[in-house]
Structure 1
Amino acid sequence: MNTLVGWHVEMEFQEEGDRTRAAAMVRLSDGTEFRAHGNANRHPSDPEQLRVGEEIAGARALMDLASQLLQKAHTEIDDVSGRSSRPINR
């Protein structure tokens, strides 16, 4: 059985001087929303490349979203299985 599911993702960027801030939001098919932020700071001696700041800040925001999604999935697995699905930290 093939099921098509979609998530809605929004990314916004704010740039001020040598700082770039990204705000990310994902809305899952069940209506759950997660929000995250990421930052990038350009070193004063680096050339101005706005896109690079967006890529770094955006990637950091998406990494935060990924972490939140993994936590949600583990919680749902734990609730059904009655045991911890998280890997052991070594």
Structure 2
Amino acid sequence: MPHTTEWRVRLDLFEDDDGTTKAHVVLDTGTTELTGQGTAHCHPADANVPEIGDELAAGRALQNIAQRLLDTAERDIEGVGVPRPSPRQVTGWPT
């Protein structure tokens, strides 16, 4: 049963005057949208390198949305009658 689909990801970055970078990511599956957020703060003693703030905020937003996606998958698996995995078991179909 081959399956091919395309999901779209949009990642927006915003930097405030106080050195805070915020990231907002949207995953559009075609049937639903998941969102994630991340932030990074430049320490006053550090050099202001915007690329580093972008990388940290984007990475944290992607981690946030990844966790939301895994949580959704676990609920969906449970919804088709498969019990939740034990804390030691990796998320996915049980073996």
Give the TM-score normalised by the residue count of structure 1.
0.86
The 5-angstrom pairing of residues 47-66 of structure 1 reads 47-66=47-66
RMSD value, Cα = 1.6
Which ranges in structure 2 are unaligned for 5 or more consecutive residues? 89-95
Match of 1:25 in 2: 26
Distance in 1, matches of 2:26 and 2:7, equals 10
| SS of structure 2 residue aligned to 1:81 | coil
Letter in 1 for 2:7: W
Which ranges in structure 1 are unaligned for 5 or more consecutive residues? none
Shift of 1:84: 1.7
The 5-angstrom pairing of residues 1-90 of structure 1 reads 2-17=2-17, 18-29=19-30, 31-85=31-85, 87-88=86-87
Distance in 2, matches of 1:48 and 1:83, equals 48
Percent same amino acid at aligned positions? 29
